[in-house]
Structure 1
Amino acid sequence: MNAEQHVPPFRFKGFSDFWEQRKLSDLAMFNPRLELPDSFQYVDLESVSGTELINHRTETKSSAPSRAQRLAKKGDIFYQTVRPYQKNNYLYEKSDDDYVFSTGYAQLRPYEDGYFLFSRLQENGFVSTVLDHSTGTSYPAINSNDLAKLEIMVPLNLNEQQAIGKLFRHIDNAIALHQHKLAKLKELKKGYLQKLFPQNGETVPEFRFKGYSDAWEKRKYGDIAKSFQYGLNAPAKKFDGINKYLRITDIDDLTRLFKQESLTSPDTNLSNASTYLLKQGDVLFARTGASTGKTYKYRKGDGKVYFAGFLIRADLKPKFDSEFFYQTTLTDSFLDFVKVTSQRSGQPGINSKEYANKAIQVPELSEQQRIGSVLAIYDNLIAATQCKLDLLKKLKKGYLQKMFC
């Protein structure tokens, strides 16, 4: 290894010493043994997602699973040793002394800066090294003794470790903030979907805007849309810079927006394909496969878009608001309809006739527009927050690649 390999590509100003190779056992105590309390909060392998503790349960020493052995102390790192590629690792920073983790985690008690070491263990290069030393294929795993023998490059200057750890703490805090904000927005949106649309057997919703009192009327999707049209059956080709091709996989599962990272164009004579060109207000339904029931509402900002064969376009009549109509496809009632209707002896699916027979309660146009506009605001906030979260995760990934060697 030459000198250039002993330093990372990016460094904070004022640090120039070479990094040195150290075993993890030189950097942290592994699996310290402590007497368990009589009652404690148990953390199993499903309780950590990413770097967040999402769940725990109360256990007693006498009834707890045999894997409940790792008593946490503030500053401990819990590294997932089963399927380590998931990177569900946790830095314990609580003051509580009654959290016990499963032996599915290796417990590391850092000798120096804990956040530096925690961040280093999240880096893809290290994860690849762990997988190289793991056993098993479907459920690769590494034992704590083998993990402790793995070597990483570290700065011997504690101040540099702390500077790097501080940077990643700042990024992780921002990621956690946006994750919590996103979860809250999704919860609020779900609540509005339940309160702004009538529940089963009801003709009016629980919550109504001021000035509206008329009963809603039952309408089938087929009464709301002028037609249900199947999409263009053509292969995809490299994006030509103008004509976009929207397939089921191009619709984001969370935001239902057109994912534009891997754009394609339809590989066909487009002069004969104008009937498949989307216009403002069009709503699409996925008709087959695991994505059956996924929907999308076209927005002018998406550009010139042709929709593919496994999608069905609903062309709405003028007296119906497309945003309101689209939002009804996000309700529990619609999800139940998809679950029941899509059952097939082979691949799940819903055809245009079945979508047309789906019935909903509908108010007058102005109330439709009011409801649609409010729910669209939440969709925009969710999409914006998701975008910021994705950018932060991308930023972290970049720093993980550049700030370690």
Structure 2
Amino acid sequence: MSNKVPRIRFNGYSDAWEERKLGDEVLIVMGQSPNSENYTDNPNDHILVQGNADMKNGHVFPRVWTTQVTKQAEKNDLILSVRAPVGDIGKTDYDVVIGRGVAAIKGNEFIFQNLGKMKSDGYWTRYSTGSTFESINSSDIKEAIISIPRIEEQQKIGSFFKQLDNTIALHQRKLDLLKEQKKGYLQKMFPKNGAKVPELRFTGFADDWEERKFKDILKTYSFRSYLANASDNGKYEVIQQGDNPIVGYSDGIPFMNYKDIILFGDHTVSLYKPHSPFFISTDGVKILSADNFEGNYLYTTLERYKPDSQGYKRHFTILKNQELWFTRNMEEQQKVGSFFKQLDNNIALQQKKLSLLKDQKKGLLQKMFI
């Protein structure tokens, strides 16, 4: 098949795509930063877009304002980051002032999706300059080569991916809502502001909750007997700290009594409840339990009271001195723990759906563009 046509196409189109310079197809305006003394947090001033930090999920969101107008972009313009990270692309739903970290591009949905593919393909990294701070200039952008079909096909492709983006955005909003709901429940289902009972509570429970410090209730286990190197083969999981806890598998004698155990990431402030016997990969993973604490309830309690991250440091010392409220009633513990476990399952399911949609889009971008 000719490399001038994509692998997947809408019916009725067979012409080869043509290579063009981006600057010959769209108007490009490089940003110019206002003076810093003109920056404000007043929403009545002009929205300022300076770079990647002002874009989220393919859209500009207001974060900083300015009273000084330098270079401008209009509503529906495309915003391209030109300084590290290079190549991030978003749309603006507002008239905005653009700083020197971005460029404004007057392009259609096809151009927007094409620029997104170029970013994921690493196109701009090859042309960025600076050994410690990546950037691209006006010439790099204008001279960038893109392949384009006739305008009717551009419109069909653009419309298809816009609908896919809308679906992704809908699932992202559902995920964000679930996370916000969980955050609210963590606040309301544990006592606060000097109260001895939570604001929200399952019916049938009336006893006061108790206040302690974690060091008074937590039990720790030596990690040394359970350190293991991870491989692709093995019977038992090897756990690290962070958002991706399972790094591989190993054989040997693992930590067996896992049922009410929680693993705490000393550097990352991460939590993981193992589902089977396990090994750990580093001494930064703390093995924790608490007498008369049901496992899911202990996990939830740690989530509610764990310290904020303070960089790459040992957080377990901070955690030990953190005060907490808890109920000794095992039935209430089980209800609270099960409630948050189900909420976590829903969040994980929604995250899986979202990740699948993003992977599908990534694959389609490769097959429907050149």
Q: Is the aligned partner of 1:362 residue 2:341?
A: no
How far apart are 1:21 and its partner, in Å?
0.5
The equivalent of 1:255 in structure 2 is none
Task: Using structure 2 for the length normalisation, give the TM-score.
Answer: 0.84
Aligned with residue 133 of structure 1, among 114, 117, 127: 127
* 2:73–2:96 Cα contact (<8 Å) kept: yes
Superposition deviation, residue 140 in structure 1: 1.3
1:313 to 287, 290, 294: 287
* Deviation (angstroms), 1:356: 6.4
Task: Give the C-alpha shift of residue 72 in structure 1.
Answer: 0.7
Deviation at residue 400 of structure 1 after TM alignment: 1.9
Look up the match of 1:108: 105
Q: How far 1:193 moved relative to its partner?
A: 0.8
- The answer as to whether partners of 1:229 and 1:314 remain within 8 angstroms in 2 is no
For residue 198 of structure 1, what is the amino acid of its counterpart? P
Correspondence for 1:53: 60
Q: What are structure 2's unaligned runs of at least 5 residues?
A: 32-43
Shift of the alpha carbon at 1:327?
0.6
Q: Does 1:281 align with 2:274?
A: no
Aligned residues: 355
Partner of 1:27: 25
Matched with 1:387 is 352
SS in 2 for 1:123: helix
Residues 220 and 237 from structure 1, CA distance in 2 versus in 1: closer, same or farther, beyond 3 angstroms? same
Shift of 1:326: 0.6
Letter matched to residue 229 of structure 2:
A
- 1:212 to partner: Cα distance: 1.9
Q: Larger RCO: Structure 1 or Structure 2 (Cα < 8 Å, ≥ 6 residues apart)?
A: 1
**Equivalent residues in 2 for 1:4-403 (5 A)?**
4-31=2-29, 40-45=46-51, 46-59=53-66, 63-64=67-68, 68-74=70-76, 76-85=77-86, 87-92=87-92, 94=93, 98-110=95-107, 114-124=108-118, 128-155=122-149, 157-199=150-192, 201-219=194-212, 221=214, 224=217, 228-230=221-223, 232-240=225-233, 242-249=235-242, 251-252=243-244, 258-259=245-246, 263-266=247-250, 270=252, 273-274=253-254, 276-277=255-256, 279-287=258-266, 290-291=267-268, 293-299=269-275, 303=276, 305-310=278-283, 311-317=285-291, 319-331=292-304, 333-335=305-307, 348-349=313-314, 359-363=323-327, 364-403=329-368
C-alpha RMSD of matched pairs (Å): 3.1
Deviation at 1:375, TM superposition (A): 1.8
SS at match of 1:16: coil
Q: Once the two structures are superposed, what CA deviation does each residue of 1:195-245 show, in whole Å capped at 9, x if it has no partner? A: 111236443222222222211123555665665342545442422253321
* Identical-residue share of aligned pairs (%): 31
Per-residue Cα deviation, 1:156-192 (whole angstroms, up to 9, x for no partner): x222212211221122112211222222211111111
Tell me the distance in 2 between the aligned counterparts of 1:40 and 1:242.
59
Q: CA offsets, 1:264-318, max 9 Å, x none?
A: 223xx61xx24x235333211224xx32x3221123xxx553334422323444x
> 8 Å contact 1:42–1:57 — kept in the other structure?
yes
CA distance in 2, matches of 1:116, 1:58: 30
CA–CA distance in structure 2, aligned partners of residues 84 and 202 of structure 1: 47
- Cα 1:278–1:389 change in 2 (3 A) is farther
- Cα distance change on mapping 1:201 and 1:231 into 2, 3 Å: farther
Structure 1 gaps of 5+ residues are: 253-257
Distance in 2, matches of 1:91 and 1:161, equals 18
Q: Deviations over 1:373-396 (max 9, x none)?
A: 222222112111111121122112
CA distance in 2, matches of 1:73, 1:222: 55
Give the direction of change, closer, same or farther, for the CA distance of 1:107–1:387 in structure 2 (3 Å limit): same
Aligned residues of 2:227 and 2:279 also touching (Cα < 8 A): no
